[in-house]
């Protein structure tokens, strides 16, 4: 399978390239960066100590056209440009980018009528197991337990709460029969009054080089249940993303997430 990586010189991009170059059934067909990047023209594997024979390029349309699947962990505006190119060339896509607007998400849904897409806020296998565990816990514990979601990431992350935290909120809210849009509370300050029992709270921490930590706290009377997952390496995301790319092999259309990839439906 021929893989093209977007944002190839970034932290996640480099990790993805390392994972692709280590995969015997995969070939790095292209590595993309934005115009003006100082990495353009360099070997994509240089940063991870593995020569790839692929030069980093800003010509995303050309790189996508010669590939079977694009893996994109960049920014919404860039991912949507790449999405259009994938639709044009019939190239499947794995999207790990977060922070899309409702309109951006709708464009992904529409594109899935023409190409196959895995779109998930977190590709790590352990995190997706945590989604399922949180869902089961919410169904068992019910409305007697208050729900708070705490997440922590490195200082460079630009969106908050994280896409993973929001997905955890969606999963728990659905299990409890609530609409997250109407019950979510983002941080607290000042005289907030007594906690509304139906709310789901979100709290974001940013600092240092934290890769990613997420906890769903179910706080009841006399006990507290916590579902926590800590990512210690970006390689966990890369391994999951490659698993998603392999899952798309042979598919021509459809919108999937990691629960589909892992058979957790």
Domain range summary for the chain, segments of one domain joined by +: 2-119+234-261, 125-231
**Which is the catalytic residue, given 82, 153, 203, 214?**
153
Mean pLDDT of the chain: 96
Q: Note if 153 is an active site residue.
A: yes
Domain 125-231, what architecture?
2-Layer Sandwich (3.30)
- The CATH code of domain 2-119+234-261 reads 3.40.50.720
Three-class DSSP category at 170: helix
Which residues, at least 6 apart from 76, have a Cβ–Cβ distance to it below 8 Å?
A: 97, 99, 100, 101, 104
The catalytic residue among 27, 50, 157, 203 is 157
pLDDT band for position 67 (cuts 50, 70, 90): very high
d(CA 253, CA 14): 28
pTM: 0.82
132 given a catalytic annotation: no
Q: How far apart are CA 128 and CA 151, in angstroms?
A: 15
119's CB contacts (< 8 A; 6+ apart) are 95, 108, 255, 256, 257
pLDDT digits (tens, 9 = 90+) for 79-136: 999 999 999 999 999 999 988 999 999 999 999 999 999 999 889 999 999 999 999 9
Residue 54: is the preceding peptide bond cis (ω within 30°)? no
Taking residues 169-193, what's their average pLDDT?
97
């Amino acid at each position: 399978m021929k893989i093209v990586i977007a944002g190839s010189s970034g932290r996640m991009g480099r990790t993805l390239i390392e994972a692709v170059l280590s995969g015997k059934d995969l070939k790095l067909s292209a590595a993309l960066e934005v115009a003006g990047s100082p990495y353009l023209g360099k070997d994509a594997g240089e940063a991870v100590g593995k020569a790839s024979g692929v030069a980093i390029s800003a010509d995303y349309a050309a790189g996508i056209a010669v590939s079977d699947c694009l893996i994109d962990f960049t920014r919404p505006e860039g991912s949507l440009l790449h999405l259009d190119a994938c639709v044009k060339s019939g190239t499947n896509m794995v999207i790990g980018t977060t922070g899309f607007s409702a309109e951006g998400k709708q464009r992904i849904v529409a594109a899935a009528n023409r190409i196959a897409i895995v779109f998930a806020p977190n590709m790590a296998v352990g995190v997706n197991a945590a989604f399922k565990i949180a869902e089961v816990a919410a169904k068992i514990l019910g409305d007697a337990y208050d729900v708070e979601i705490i997440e922590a990431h490195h200082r460079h992350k630009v969106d908050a709460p994280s896409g993973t935290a929001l997905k955890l909120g969606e999963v728990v809210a659905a299990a409890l029969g609530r609409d997250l849009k109407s019950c979510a509370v983002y941080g607290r300050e000042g005289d907030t009054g007594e906690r509304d029992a139906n709310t789901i709270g979100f709290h974001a921490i940013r600092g240092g080089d934290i890769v990613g930590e997420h906890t769903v706290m179910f706080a009841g009377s006399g006990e507290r249940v916590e579902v926590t997952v800590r990512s210690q390496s970006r390689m966990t995301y890369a391994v999951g993303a490659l698993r998603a790319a392999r899952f798309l092999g042979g598919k021509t259309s459809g919108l999937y997430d990691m629960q589909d990839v892992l058979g957790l439906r």
